[in-house]
Structure 1
Amino acid sequence: MPRIFAPLLSAATYARWLHLAAGWIFAGVVLMIYPGTSTHGLGGILLRAVPVDVALLVIAALLPAMRRAEGVQARLLLMPEREQDIAAEPARSWADRRRTAVWLTGRVTLGSLVGMASILVPAAAFDLLTGPAPQIAGRRLPTGDGPTWYPLLVPVLLFGFGWLVVWAGRLQLAMAVRLLGPSPAERLAAAEERAERLLERNLLARELHDSIGHALTVTVLQAGAARAVGDREFVAKALEVIEETGRQAMEDLERTLVLLRDTAGAGGGAAAGSGTGGHPGGAAGDHRERPGLAQLPALLDTARSAGSPVEARIDLPPGQLPGVLSREGYRIVQEGITNALKYAPGEPISIRIALREGRLELRCANALRTAGPSRSSPRRGGKGLRGVRERAVLLGGEASAGPEGGEWVLTVRVPLRLGA
């Protein structure tokens, strides 16, 4: 029972009824002002007024703003489950105008039928209740010997009319979604925008993971070493490294938050928070540039100060590496060093960076620890390695990581693309 009566009491039903009535009003105005409709029967009225209605609706549909006005009105009164199902944009193509013309014609037709029922049904219910000779649509009902049972038809009549309005409103909503909904091109653009927003959030999350994760790893190792050694000079050096690492992490965090605010303020557009090649770090107004491979010496010194010997060989001709590769390469090496410090503290780290056959190759290796509380783990499910692979794929390259001959080796190869 609640399922039967709930739609009749829903606010959406009456809002949609109002939307249907607006279409009926348009048809009624044409009937009142078009000459000759008052002297003809129903058939003559339809033959004279319907072509005029259709012609006026088609002309109105040619206006780009009409589609937007109808979309706004449909969103407000038809109450779709998702507003995105009904577009509120002006017509941009002839296909949009054709769909708008079909929508207007269907809306007025359905609204006229429901509008006439909205007059005839209450009038018939009133006659059944009060008339000495009850009538429905101008036809007198036979009274016979027992006319008193006719008032019992009133609830049935009103119930049927209520469900007519419910189904007409649902049909109107389905028409709006079909004819006023986004076009295939608009749906594709919206999907691309959502994918771009997701990619932007993933990039920012990866930046925070790499930067803050490295800073915390170095800080924990330095603090633990300082407590274990107890030498005043070593403690002072460790505190200096912790301070510098924390300052760099704060700058990275602030830069990432600026990019996040810019992206949110621009509605997720790529131009607001993207650097060169769609990567964060190149937004206008950001006075701190993301670190690149030129800043590797400071990164390597940080690893050495944490107690891990680092041997690096960097073979990069000056001026031949695009900025995006330099920045992403720095983050990849940083993640490799962070993993080495986390899983094999104190073990030697080997870094190799070179340009070979039009590709940038990065290799970060560290000796596997086989004993002790910090024994190396496989590290296959970490977010850092997954982020490295994502960076490599976005740059058109590949990444691999795993044990090789007593070492844990991270290798990344990406194509060299000038101007990327």
Structure 2
Amino acid sequence: MILAPLVAGASYARLLHLLVGWIFAGVVLMIYPGTYGKSLGGILTSAVPLDAALLALVALVPAVRRAEGVQARLLLVPDREEDIGVEPSGTWADRRRTAGWLVGRVVLGSAVGFVMAFGLAPVFDLLTGPHALRYLPLVPVLALGCGWLVVWVGRLQLAMATRLLGPSPAERLAEAELWAERLLERNRLARELHDSIGHALTVTVLQAGAAREVGDPAFAAKALEVIEETGRQAMEDLERTLVLLRETPAGGASAGGASAGGAVRNAVATEQPGIDQLPALFDTARAAGSPVEARIEVPAGVLPGVLSRESYRIVQEGVTNALKYAPGQPVAVRVAVRDGHLELRCANRLAAVPVRGGAGREGGKGLRGIRERAVLLGGAASAGRADPLGPPAGPSADGAGEWVLDVRLPLRLGA
């Protein structure tokens, strides 16, 4: 345990990094003020200000920060490379931090070089003198001490590099925001897949089951036609989403990542169905055996594109839930603009005999996705059992009740 750090390759790489700083100080010292006839105090008072001034001037060059970051990653061997940045200086704060790093690096390297060059010289004289055998037991102790000095100073330099060459708080915040944006994009694509594929599978299962039960060739042909059309639409949605996922970088914050995120948003925005395609959705539900009464009271051109697309997906999920958990029961859908808001309501009679798997409806992924969509659009959503409002979606004869989904979204996003 004591010797492991002393034989690790990272310790010697860090020693090399330290010696580079010492060599820089030595070169400057040889040029000015020199060492001939100078005391140690005189050398320090003359050389330190000159070194610091030169390093501060060098730190003004943006590329220096990048060069130092690359070198630190290679020689200081951090646990995570991203802890040390490799971007050029972009602000004056970056330049100040780079200057602090350069000065600190030279100070640490010079201190270690001074100890090794001048501190060990008297010990070397003793070990090579006439009484060398008397001082021979000191060799392991000195070797261990020097080795651990290099290890600890190397660790100190790594910590300093992480602090001064690592991403600034503003850069970390920007990276976190970009990562959060990318996660939101992927969550959105996941919701799109859930809504589209879930609806297609629900319709397919219902149509296939009904065709088998009825046994009418004409009905079976119609069911197969609906299954074919629904499956084709689902395959198109799946292919489009997979293309977008392949084009989105998996990780790393970069300008390219931001552009890819924007490309995903634009592609999703331009290719998704809107509220004008709700009649086709209702026809699919009717073909699956559930009567649908729909009232769409939205003037043309009133809804923004994103609101139209999200509203379609919300209604689609509501209808899919009705088909899934109460197949064959009447469904009433109302889409209307009231007081600057878009109101979406989807109500269906509850099945007298609960459908297998229907117990998890209230906490399902679909309803959670609807609530997330509503919140992102500045609105709210609620779903659950409710008192019947009338014949279209009233309670069944046995008093099973109805299930109602209500969503209210502002027409002006952010309002």
* Bigger shift: residues 164-173 or 74-83: 74-83
Question: Match for 2:273 among 260, 281, 291?
Answer: 291
Conservation of the 8 A alpha-carbon contact between 2:72 and 2:84: yes
1:260 aligns with 2:245: yes
Q: CA deviation at 1:370?
A: 2.2
1:246 matches 2:237: no
Note if 1:130 corresponds to 2:112: no
In 2, the alpha carbon distance for the partners of 1:12 and 1:165 equals 11
SS at match of 2:359: coil
| CA distance in 1: counterparts of 2:357 and 2:243, whole angstroms | 39
What is residue 348 of structure 2 aligned with on the other side? Answer: 366
* CA spacing shift, 1:238–1:42, aligned 2, 3 Å: same
1:15 paired with 2:13, answer yes
For 2:37 and 2:3, how far apart are their aligned partners in 1? 42
Match for residue 263 of structure 2? 272
1:117 matched to which residue of 2? 115
Runs of 4+ in 1 over 6 A off after TM superposition: none
Q: Which residue of 2 aligns with 1:332?
A: 314
Asked if 1:179 is matched to 2:164, the reply is: yes
Code of the residue aligned with 1:222 in structure 2: it is Q
Verify: 1:398 aligned to 2:385, yes or no: no
- The answer (yes or no) to whether the contact 1:348–1:366 under 8 Å persists in 2 is yes
Residue in 2 aligned with 1:281? 268
SS of corresponding position for 1:326: helix
- Tell me, yes or no, if the aligned pair for 1:370 and 1:376 is still in contact at 8 Å: no
1:178 Cα shift?
1.4
Amino acid across the alignment from 1:241: V
1:30 aligned residue: 28
Does structure 2 retain, via aligned residues, the 8 Å contact 1:37–1:49?
A: no
Inter-partner Cα distance in structure 1 for 2:305 and 2:355: 40
Identity within the alignment, %: 71
> Which residue of structure 1 lines up, in the alignment, with residue 79 of structure 2?
81
Q: Distance in 1 between matches of 2:316 and 2:246?
A: 26
Partner secondary structure for residue 38 of structure 1 = coil
> In structure 2, what is the Cα distance between the partners aligned to 1:56 and 1:25?
15
Over aligned residues, Cα RMSD in angstroms? 2.0
Q: Is the 8 A contact 2:13 2:76 kept in 1?
A: yes
Structure 2 portions without partners, runs of 5+: 251-255, 388-400
SS at match of 2:317: helix
1:74-119 alpha-carbon deviations (Å, 9 max, x no partner): 1221122222222211112222111111111111000011122333
Tell me the SS of whatever aligns to 2:343: strand
Task: Give the distance between the partners of 1:213 and 1:38, measured in 2 at CA.
Answer: 85
Answer whether contact 2:378 2:414 (CA < 8 A) is retained: no
TM-score (norm 1): 0.90
Pick aligned residue for 2:408 from 399, 408, 413 = 413
Select the residue among 83, 91, 94 that pairs with 1:93.
91
Q: Indicate if the aligned counterparts of 1:64 and 1:92 stay in contact, CA closer than 8 A.
A: yes
Please give the secondary structure, in 2, of the residue aligned with 1:412. strand
Matched AA of 1:98: R
Aligned counterparts of 2:13 and 2:3: Cα–Cα separation in 1: 17
Q: Find the partner of 1:220 among 201, 205, 210.
A: 205
Gaps (5+ residues) in structure 1?
A: 135-147, 284-288
CA distance in 1, matches of 2:49, 2:59: 15
Matched residue type, 1:49: A
| AA of the residue aligned to 1:247 | R
> What are the superposed Cα offsets for residues 111-144 of structure 1, whole Å, 9 maximum, x if unpaired?
011122333466556445433255xxxxxxxxxx
Change (3 A) 1:216 1:31: same
CA contact (8 A) 2:326 2:355 kept: no
What's the CA shift for 1:374? 4.7
Between the aligned partners of 1:118 and 1:241, the Cα distance in structure 2 is 84
Structure 1: which amino acid aligns with 2:233? Q
Q: Distance in 2 between matches of 1:261 and 1:124?
A: 65
SS of the residue corresponding to residue 211 of structure 1 reads helix
> Deviation at 1:66?
1.1
2:175 alignment partner, one of 190, 209, 212: 190
Q: C-alpha separation between the residues in 1 aligned to 2:64 and 2:414? A: 45
TM-score scaled by length of structure 2: 0.91
Report the 3-state secondary structure (helix = DSSP H, G, I; strand = E; otherwise coil) of the residue aligned with 1:29.
helix
Partner of residue 311, structure 1: 293
Cα distance between partner residues in 2 of 1:325 and 1:386: 18
Instruction: Report the secondary structure of 1:401's partner residue.
Output: strand
In structure 1, what is the Cα distance between the partners aligned to 2:326 and 2:347?
Answer: 11
Instruction: Indicate the SS of the match to 1:319.
Output: coil
Mapped to 2, the partners of 1:125 and 1:324 lie a distance apart of 78
CA distance 1:174–1:376, shift in 2 (3 Å): closer
Decide which of 110, 130, 139 is 1:154's aligned counterpart: 139
Change in Cα spacing, 1:358 to 1:154, as seen in structure 2 (3 Å) is: same
| C-alpha contact (below 8 Å) 2:378/2:413 kept by paired residues | no
> How far is 1:380 from its partner?
1.6
Partner of 1:205: 190
Q: After superposing the two structures, state which structure 1 stretch, 90-99 or 245-254, moved more.
A: 90-99
Q: How many residues align?
A: 396
Counterpart Cα distance in 2 of 1:312 and 1:54: 77
CA offsets, 1:21-72, max 9 Å, x none? 1111100111222244323122222122212111111110111111111111
